[in-house]
Amino acid sequence: MENTYISFEDAKLLYPDEWLLLGNPVTDENGLNILGGYILYHSKDRKEVCYLGRDLTEGYDRIRLKFTGKFEPRRRLGVMIQIKR
């Protein structure tokens, strides 16, 4: 993957609903919102990005993992139902 800076808005268009591993991300003044960075690895599978992208982080001061879609946490209702019984 080539190391070219890309804005996060452009990354969302190029990699919809994917996890991005960003090197040296640029954030807003609060440090909460990512404005852009260097895409080191991307995939729809978060674990793949974490494990395979790990070796690509050398030479970067900061690393962030960010999802480009709408994040919906998984709900594990089955476990809660079993506990109540």
Domain ranges of the chain: 5-84
Helix (H) or strand (E) holding 67: strand 63-67
Percent of the chain surpassing pLDDT 90: 73
The closest of 39, 15, 35, 19 to 27, measured between CA atoms, is: 35
What's the predicted TM-score (pTM) here?
0.78
pLDDT at 77: 60
> Given a cut of 70, is residue 22 above it in pLDDT?
yes
